[in-house]
Amino acid sequence: MSDTIFTGCIPALMTPCTAARTPDFDALVAKGRELVEIGMRAVVYCGSMGDWPLLTEAERQEGVARLVAAGVPTIVGTGAVNSREAVAHAAHAAKVGAQGLMVIPRVLSRGASATAQKAHFSAILEAAPTLPAVIYNSPYYGFATRAELFFDLRREHPNLIGFKEFGGGADLRYAAEHITSHDDSVSLMVGVDTQVVHGFVNCNATGAITGVGNALPREVLQLVALSKQAAKGDAKARRLAAELEAALAVLSSFDEGCDLVLYYKYLMVLNGDTAYALHFNETDVLSDAQRHYAERQYALFRQWYTNWSAEQC
């Protein structure tokens, strides 16, 4: 089984919203195509960035089917409040020809139980045995997948080929030290925008799943490329990667908060992508202060990046 889909830089797509506050699938597909044409390896849909809790099962699956039909390499998020629905999303992904799965832990019901999570993960992996899959580890889902459980699952399900780590620097270190270094064929995906350099340089990551990369795709692709060079010992690349990551720090930090989709959709609007102006819940809006802060930080980064890029020429 090939695991090449879990390499490079992969944006977690947001779901554009119509005036009726329903998914705008045409805009979703257009953005997926645009990002892949720029250089992204694939897209993830529907993870937290895609607002999976706010969409119906049918809406999520229509978005997946349209992306795949448009030729966009697609990794499907399996987030659900029950295993039956998660299994349905995995089976649908395999049926329509998606390229991979991002397996999300069971939430709300018995979410802290390792036994329940193993059964949940197993059911999803069994539903799509031909699709390479990574487990999504995030403190926001209330369960930390550790090495023993991961390798128990991997022995039973060879399509489990990696780990997406959203828990931050210490959790990335744990994944590298106890999971991916135990088996070189296991992929580690950096799952939080603030930890790209650390993930590649110190944790042997194979790729990054990005939120801010929706709004700043070329800049994040450059950060990933520099980080990969730095991981080979390139001193200049390491310095430049650190400078770029530091300049992105505030914008990347939006990825760590509960308003991440609100912020990144707003950055898309600042780019001129009006399809991202609305949210599915009318009350889901940034405050005036949050918008002003985002505007200033975005303008500051863009000015810095223009000057910094000119220095490299």
* Structure confidence at residue 1 as a pLDDT band (50, 70, 90): very low
Name which of 79, 73, 57, 59 is nearest 15 in CA terms: 59
Output the domain CATH number for residue 153: 3.20.20.70
Beta carbons within 10 angstroms of residue 8's beta carbon: 18
Beta bridge partners of 160: 133
**Residue with the two structure tokens 């939120």:** 211
Q: Please check the confidence at residue 168 and state whether its pLDDT lies above 80.
A: yes
Determine the length of the chain.
313
The answer to whether position 3 is within a domain reads: no
pLDDT in tens, 51-87: 999 999 999 999 999 999 999 999 999 999 999 999 9
Q: Point out the residues that are catalytic.
A: 136, 164
* Structure confidence at residue 305 as a pLDDT band (50, 70, 90): very high
**What is the C-alpha separation between 152 and 247, in angstroms, rounded?**
40
The answer to whether position 72 is within a domain reads: yes
Q: What's 280's DSSP letter?
A: S
Amino acid identity for residue 231 in this structure: A
Mean pLDDT confidence for 180-206: 95
pLDDT of residue 161: 96
Domain range holding 268? 8-311
For 229, phi then psi, to 5°, come to -65, -40
Please indicate, yes or no, whether the overall pTM of this predicted structure exceeds 0.85.
yes
**What is the C-alpha separation between 166 and 48, in angstroms, rounded?**
11
Known binding residue 209? Answer is yes
Helix (H, G, I), strand (E, B) or coil at 11: strand
For the chain, the domain total comes to: 1
Name which of 67, 126, 128, 132 is nearest 92 in CA terms: 128
- Tell me if the bond preceding 46 is cis, omega within 30° of 0: yes
SS (H, E, C) 170-224: HHHHHHHHHHHCCCCCCEEEECCHHHHHHHHHHHCCCEEEECHHHCCHHHHHHHH
**What is the C-alpha separation between 182 and 202, in angstroms, rounded?**
15
* Structure confidence at residue 139 as a pLDDT band (50, 70, 90): confident
pLDDT in tens, 206-245: 999 999 999 999 999 999 999 999 999 999 999 999 999 9
Computed from CA positions of residues 34, 38, 42, 45, in that sequence, does the dihedral angle turn out positive or negative?
negative
The answer to whether position 2 is within a domain reads: no
Beta bridge partners of 101: 76, 133
The answer to whether position 1 is within a domain reads: no
pLDDT of residue 111: 86
The answer to whether position 132 is within a domain reads: yes
